[in-house]
A = this chain, B = another copy of it.
Amino acid sequence: MKYLGCAYYPEYWGADRFETDAKLMQAAGINIARVGEFAWSRMEPKEGEYTLDWLHQCIETLARYGINVLMCTPTATPPEWLTSKHPETCLVRADGVRAVHGARRHYCTTNQTYRRFSATITDVLTKDLARHRNIVAWQLDNEFGPELSWCFCPDCQARFQAWLRERYGTVEELNRRWGTGFWSKDYTDWSQVTLSNDLSSYSSRTLDSKRFWSAMMIEFAEKQSDIIRRNTPHVMVTTNGMGPIYSHIDYYKLFAYLDVACDDLYFDIGTMDANVCAMNIFRSIKPGKRFWVTETGSGALDHNKPPHPLQFRAWAWSSLAHGAEAHMIFRWRTCLSGQEQELQGILEHSGQPRQRYKAVQNCFLELRKHWENLQDLPPPDAPVAIVQDYDTLWGYEASRIGSSVKYTGLVYDVHKALWRRNIVCDLIPTDRALNPYRLVILPSTMMISQEFAERLNLFVRNGGTVLAIGQIGMRDDSDNYLPYPGPDHLQELLGIRIEGGMYLKSHVEADEALWEPAPKSRDIEVGITGVLGAKKVHGSAGTWVADVSLNGASFLMRFTDGAYAEQPAVVSRQTGGGNAIYVASTRLDTALFGEVLDHALSQARIQHGIATPENVEAIRRANVVFLVNHTQSSASIPMDTPREVMVGAYRAGMADLGPYGVCVLRY
């Protein structure tokens, strides 16, 4: 890969170690170090007094060993002198208690004082460090988001009211849009409208609060990046994201302003399909660009499960295969003190290289050896797009039904089914161009704007296939239900009316209490049967089913029992050269969903990728195929004879993968 690296804390270890560390890094194949994101108190120990000599010395030492720097603004951890002089810069939790110094991300990014201090340190740093040519990018802050809590401080409340005024004009319009007529909730003055982040209030209010906080964080990021670009216009600006789907900030909007999408992707936190989903998301965030993995672990997080040393290598190859350009370990050396005292770095507490150093070194030297031959590969080709809509996500979070319908889970399920078929997909927002794709999947996209509906229409008319699943277009953009049947703006394209729906729970029994002592809410399933293509197919639906009446669509499958027995379960309607399929349930059983997906893929003329066992993946990019085994068992994959076996073992028509094995074949 272009960049192999680690997070490095020169402010913690002191100048005595710079030479030793840089040398050890170089020997391990490291060519980039992330520096400075928590170092504010050592950069500016007192207000306006800057001590940056150590930083210059460190960056220069790294340069001598051929190591680039991802330099950070240090605003994720304001120094004590700042927060003790300006306590109003600390965030206020929902219960009204102000956060105190002692951790990180305890500040309010909306607060004007904090923004002023943030601008000054960013300006000073970027000017002062501008001369170092090995600084290849700037990272803003660290892992933006509500690590402690979103903020409810007076500044945020006032700004929220201004933001709402901007959006709605009058309190009366806000009342109308939020539907405040139940429980006497009408507002008569902007000052009455405050932030909310739970289920006890109107979902409209919570949804708008989430939109507001996301917008504020993005505004903070944009202001920092403006300063950096003014001072060092040639250097990339980015920040490190999280997740597969990070639910707190609209990353499509955040990274639109930045130069590269970065993910702190700890492969051991999620399942492998979630890790791949993360990579597909970050590759989708900035189309046509490569993403960076800015943090991943080389050892156990805290004192939790450690990765297998070979697994670390499998993850790195997967990262490269999915289009990453950087792969960076958190962190160089385990800290002796502090909140993350147990989170293992590459070196031991003692500073000695032991087992983890060797595992990283082996992996990085191998990756560097092959990079020259792989760096010009085009990104993986994605014929499918899954729509991932932040309004829908926040709408579910703001509503009680979010505990039944797990929106991100639905997205992950769809993604996983594609990954099992080794089909690459993008995950896109509703305002993204649809023409690069042959199949667009809407997993319970609750809010459908007219504009988006029109583009979906055009997409189908032009030959595209749409697969719409579950609660499609059932709420307005304030998270309220429609006073008419759904799906909003899509009744014609899908050829149906959604009259209502039902959550699939067993009926109440005479001898069971619903709420006492414990809710015995038993989930049920209802049967589905019908014909897809020429194939008779059976299966079941769970969680929720729609009360659908036909409005032009063809009946492919029907419910066999339950309240909607004999009603449509899967329907399809052709428009122009394309086709739209609707599934009247948020969740089908895995096999049935596979059949429906295969039907849609076949409509869209998309073929499966290379067949592999579960958790073994095959990624084809131009004439190179990457096979990565994420399991402890060996696997043999039938493959045509390649021109070159770049990595791993190929023999008699088979690529042989040991536990966590990797095979790269050039055709």
Contact = CB atoms under 8 A, between A and B. Distances in A.
A589 interface: no
B349 A500 contact: yes
A482 B341 CA distance: 11
A182 B305 contact: no
A350 B482 contact: yes
Contact of A80 (B104, B186, B521): B186
Interface in A290-332: 300-308, 311
Contacts of A632: 507, 509
B272 A510 contact: yes
A178 B483 contact: no
Nearest to A305: B505
A100 B201 CA distance: 11
Interface residues of A, number: 119
Contact of A79 (B40, B184, B200, B202): B184
Interface in A21-39: 38-39
A365 interface: no
A461 B260 CA distance: 64
Nearest to A78: B184
A166 interface: no
A271 interface: yes
Contacts of A266: 514
Main SS class of interface, A: loop
A103 B198 CA distance: 12
Interface in A243-274: 266-274
Contact of A185 (B41, B188, B478, B499): B41
A481 B181 CA distance: 52
Given A95-B97, A480-B337, A300 B84 contact: no
A632 B104 CA distance: 55
Interface in A493-547: 499-500, 502-503, 505-516, 519, 521-522, 547
Interface stretch (A123-131, A132-140, A398-406, A421-429): A398-406
Contacts of A100: 194
Contacts of A196: 102
Contact of A516 (B45, B270, B355, B519): B270
B9 A483 contact: no
Contacts of A300: 502-503, 505
B401 A103 contact: no
Interface string A3-20: 000000101100000000
B505 A102 contact: no
Interface string A43-65: 00110000000000000000000
Contacts of A615: 510-511
Given A201-B102, A268-B508, A304-B521, A481 B182 contact: no
B181 A42 contact: yes
A607 interface: no
B354 A184 contact: no
A371 interface: no
Interface in A338-393: 338-342, 348-352, 354-355
Contact of A12 (B181, B267, B268, B301): B181
A186 B42 contact: yes
Contacts of A506: 305
Given A338-B183, A630-B510, A348 B499 contact: yes
A615 B503 CA distance: 26
A278 to B, nearest CB: 12
A563 interface: yes
A337 B178 contact: yes
A350 B483 contact: yes
A631 interface: yes
Contacts of A203: 337, 341
Contacts of A509: 631-632
A639 B409 CA distance: 55
Contact of A272 (B84, B500, B505, B511): B511
Given A301-B514, A511-B272, A341 B399 contact: yes
B80 A349 contact: no
Interface in A54-95: 74, 77-81, 84, 95
A103 B511 contact: no
Contacts of A304: 503, 505, 514, 519, 521
Contacts of A508: 267-268, 305-308, 311
Contact of A349 (B183, B401, B483, B512): B483
A334 interface: yes
Contact of A483 (B104, B179, B336): B336
A621 interface: no
A187 interface: yes
Contacts of A334: 481
Given A305-B507, A482-B350, A201 B339 contact: yes
Given A80-B187, A104-B183, 12 more contacts: A77-B183, A84-B189, A103-B183, A103-B200, A104-B184, A179-B337, A179-B338, A268-B508, A305-B508, A341-B399, A349-B482, A350-B482
Interface of A: 9, 11-12, 38-42, 45-46, 74, 77-81, 84, 95-97, 100-104, 178-189, 191-192, 194, 196, 200-204, 266-274, 300-308, 311, 334-342, 348-352, 354-355, 399-401, 404, 478-485, 499-500, 502-503, 505-516, 519, 521-522, 547, 563, 614-615, 630-632
13 contacts: A12-B182, A40-B184, A42-B181, A101-B192, A104-B184, A269-B516, A300-B505, A337-B479, A348-B499, A350-B482, A350-B485, A351-B483, A352-B500
